[in-house]
Structure 1
Amino acid sequence: MYKVKVVLKETLQERGMSINELSLKSDVRRAALSQLAGGKRENINFEHLAKIAEALNTSDINKIITLVKVEENE
């Protein structure tokens, strides 16, 4: 079984960008970005992902999300 993991925190660090800056550039609420970056959000809004990718100037979705294998008992 796989789970989608948001890797936003790592990407922001690589680019020297804060969540506040990303919020301004992407027009996604800071609270939503913080929850995504911290792994506290269960549902992922695809419109938000598109806005984040545009703000980060990337078409590589792997810069934002990845799949991780989880044990079936989790």
Structure 2
Amino acid sequence: MAKKIVVKIANLTKQHKISLRELSRLSDVRHAALSELSNGKRENVNFSHIVRIAEALNIEDIREIIDLVEDEQEDG
């Protein structure tokens, strides 16, 4: 089964007690992009966004931001 990368935006905003808009402001990543990542609507992950989120939230372990999971939409 194929794998896909999940960006754990909802977890991050909950853990850091901030809104998506605040994360957008702190990381300088568009709110729409964060929302799409959060909802799994984005096919490609822009790693500069991941870096900016990590810097904004003082995260040193990328696994706090992204996860590798089985792709449930895979046919087969």
Q: TM-score, normalised by structure 1?
A: 0.89
| Deviations 1:32-73, CA, capped at 9 Å, x for gaps | 011111111111101111001101110111111100123652
Q: State the AA in 2 paired with 1:73.
A: D
Q: Give, in whole Å, the separation in 2 of the partners of 1:46 and 1:30.
A: 16
User: Which consecutive unaligned segments of at least 5 residues does structure 1 have?
Assistant: none
Equivalence for 1:44? 45
CA RMSD of superposed structures (Å): 1.5
Equivalence for 2:30? 29
Share of identical aligned residues, percent? 50
Q: TM-score, normalised by structure 2?
A: 0.87
Divergent runs of 4+, >3 A:
none
Q: Give, in whole Å, the separation in 1 of the partners of 2:71 and 2:36.
A: 20
Q: Give, in whole Å, the separation in 1 of the partners of 2:53 and 2:61.
A: 11
Equivalence for 2:75? 73
User: Which consecutive unaligned segments of at least 5 residues does structure 2 have?
Assistant: none
